[in-house]
Amino acid sequence: MEEMSLGTTVLQTLLALGFVIALLIAFAYGVKKLGFIARVTVEQDKNQKKRLNIVEILPVDAKRRLVLIRRDDKEHLIMLGAERDLLIEQNIDPKSLLSKNIDNR
């Protein structure tokens, strides 16, 4: 069996590492293009006012999270889970909540 020099061993190791990194990048690109990764943001015209906005996300446990979304000056509280989603409260008026918080101080 032939002995390989240190330079040849280092070169083979770097080439193998580069190949593995290229495979990981290709896999991540393919997963993104096929739509397996959910989009968090959507590009929109800066002049157009957004009707839908995520106000707050609160993790409940490993599989569930509470999401407060705002749509047309109304807020909706939704619990998202692995098995199912649940609408907890809808048509919350954020302006009335603000006035209640000020009155309670």
pLDDT at position 39 is 58
Average pLDDT over residues 10-17: 96
> What's the whole-number average pLDDT of the chain?
82
Residue 93, C-beta contacts closer than 8 angstroms, at least 6 positions apart: 73, 74, 75
Shortest CA distance to 67 belongs to which of 53, 52, 77, 82? 77
1, pLDDT greater than 60: no
18, pLDDT greater than 90: yes
Q: Decide: 73 and 82 in contact? Cβ < 8 Å.
A: no
Backbone Cα Rg of the chain:
25
